Structure 1
């Protein structure tokens, strides 16, 4: 973890606006010193890269002044989904599972609350900064930015999602997805730019109840986002070393010493209310890489990479005559590094499928705007077909996955 400026008095906008941000990946570092922060540990990792022009940094203040703005793009699904969270007395074995062989609901410590013991983050980095936990949780400014409207007004009645992207494209160009749940708004993944307009627009939608980030490439400036809205940030414990600055609002999933094997599934609980949003660890790209499961939708980030072929329009030919999707066409790729074209091992891919096949989903939503696939009858089968296509092209002529069939959708 990079060292923060020793003179930092707290996570205040006047200071964080000058913190260095990697131009290539968007990671924000808790320092203003260009003589100290000369490289980016995300870009120096083999999963990413430093651009041909070399390493460079900007700041939040410079990004705001450069003309970059965040665009909000509502997504309206074509199929309805249930909005009520699972009842405490109802079996949810089909949607909440652990990494063991039993598909039954694990103990209640799997339901993660912002007040859960696992939410007690290590305060070392904050002590170095002279910051106490209460400076964020009890920050009047943060509370003003995160009003608490009545529960029934905190989510869209249709469970809609809103993509938030920065234009012109900055860093990796990914989107964050604002998911409206019965327990409040959850931000899936994070982008770097946070300006007054973004804060006001999210406030108008009910604020943020939680942030959940799929993997370290999208950690970006999440500490500043969390402080602005006074909400917890849920990250995989396996990827903790990639956090540039630990804050009291961090919740590291699977970090309990009492866990039997790192839990694979974590439902997000907000002030005692079940959101129905489940963070599912699949690993692969990073050890703790996650997908989000909510309302029959799978938010895949780039834990599964959506391919151009997967987005292709195969319903009709150029004459408008209906046709079928050609055989051998994939929908997803499974990569350790997408930019550097390094695939996952067949063992990693097998582990991903072992977890994912237990879930029912009717659509996938990738890391970038437009990577939305709705196929209620076939999307799960297309995941398995993509796995089979990839491992065959990796040279495998026999593997149990090659003879497996996707479980029927319920």
Structure 2
């Protein structure tokens, strides 16, 4: 039986004879059901119509995304280190070419995912690389659509994956919303992979913080302050967020603090009409 994938959000469901009646991920206020209604595909179909592209952002960091755009345009990041490679976030499409390229780069030691909008086909990804562990924050456990032994739930605020790579819970977009800190990134100045917890804006000099991006639901003051507080103790100069061009290339720590301050000022009324 096929394991159907939601075409809107990219989430895979357990094998079934017919597509699921609904997608709870899309029904949530952070996502949406398109006007034409819910639609479904499978990995087999995706492998015919789509392919994955790879882009090196910097030494040791490679982006992986699907063309043509699928679901919400998720982009994964491959962090390559002498101690093993970590896949940060998942995309729905995994095929033989993708597996071969990643194996040629040293394979995977583990997978870590920021939040439920990137859970996608995590079980297939794990199995393709020898059942490597997939780390998800326990606060988002209820959003897992395909339970599997490969999933390792972590708790609390910080989880060290390996030397120099740490998961940090920022919350905000989702209660367990996680970010990855790579100490050796940006030439040793440090990199944060923030996914949707701190969104690099198109001006590339500020961040946004949202409960829902497509539905424009803001976060509270406390939630935004918590995201900032989770990251400020870390050393970093660059941030990669959720999509290809969403990058703050330098000075990202100060940009984060300035963006938190601006957001808090805005929701306190600093820009209200007199």
Q: What is the TM-score when the length of structure 2 is the normalising length?
A: 0.93
CA distance in structure 2 between the aligned counterparts of 1:162 and 1:310, rounded to whole angstroms: 19
Any gaps of 5 or more consecutive residues in structure 1? 1-14, 77-157, 255-262, 312-330, 398-410
1:352-363 equivalences under 5 Å are 352-363=227-238
Q: Which residue of 1 aligns with 2:135?
A: 234
1:208-219 equivalences under 5 Å are 208-219=108-119
**Runs of 4+ residues over 6 Å off in structure 1:** none
Larger strand percent: 2
RMSD after superposition: 1.3
CA distance in structure 1 between the aligned counterparts of 2:197 and 2:229, rounded to whole angstroms: 14
Q: Which has the higher contact order (CA 8 A, sep 6+)?
A: 1
Q: Which residue of 2 aligns with 1:383?
A: 256
CA distance in structure 2 between the aligned counterparts of 1:33 and 1:395, rounded to whole angstroms: 52
1:202-281 equivalences under 5 Å are 202-230=102-130, 231-254=132-155, 263-269=156-162, 274=163, 276-281=164-169
CA distance in structure 2 between the aligned counterparts of 1:338 and 1:225, rounded to whole angstroms: 26
CA distance in structure 2 between the aligned counterparts of 1:266 and 1:162, rounded to whole angstroms: 22
Query: Equivalent of 1:167, from 67, 74, 97?
Result: 67
CA distance in structure 2 between the aligned counterparts of 1:229 and 1:380, rounded to whole angstroms: 34
What secondary structure sits across from 2:233 in the alignment? coil
Residue 279 of structure 1 deviates from its aligned partner by 0.5
Q: Note if 1:334 corresponds to 2:227.
A: no
Q: Which residue of 2 aligns with 1:320?
A: none
Any gaps of 5 or more consecutive residues in structure 2? 185-189
CA contact (8 A) 1:21 1:57 kept: yes
**Greater gyration radius:** 1
CA distance in structure 1 between the aligned counterparts of 2:51 and 2:229, rounded to whole angstroms: 40
Residue 342 of structure 1 deviates from its aligned partner by 0.6
Residue 385 of structure 1 deviates from its aligned partner by 1.2
CA contact (8 A) 1:181 1:277 kept: no
What secondary structure sits across from 1:266 in the alignment? strand
What secondary structure sits across from 2:204 in the alignment? helix
Residue 194 of structure 1 deviates from its aligned partner by 0.6
What secondary structure sits across from 1:364 in the alignment? strand
CA contact (8 A) 1:21 1:59 kept: yes
Query: Equivalent of 1:298, from 188, 192, 200?
Result: 192
Per-residue CA deviation, residues 303-355 of structure 1 (Å, 9 max, x unaligned), is 111111226xxxxxxxxxxxxxxxxxxx1011011111011000111222222
CA distance in structure 2 between the aligned counterparts of 1:169 and 1:214, rounded to whole angstroms: 20
What secondary structure sits across from 1:43 in the alignment? helix
CA distance in structure 2 between the aligned counterparts of 1:393 and 1:178, rounded to whole angstroms: 36
1:140-179 equivalences under 5 Å are 158=59, 160-179=60-79
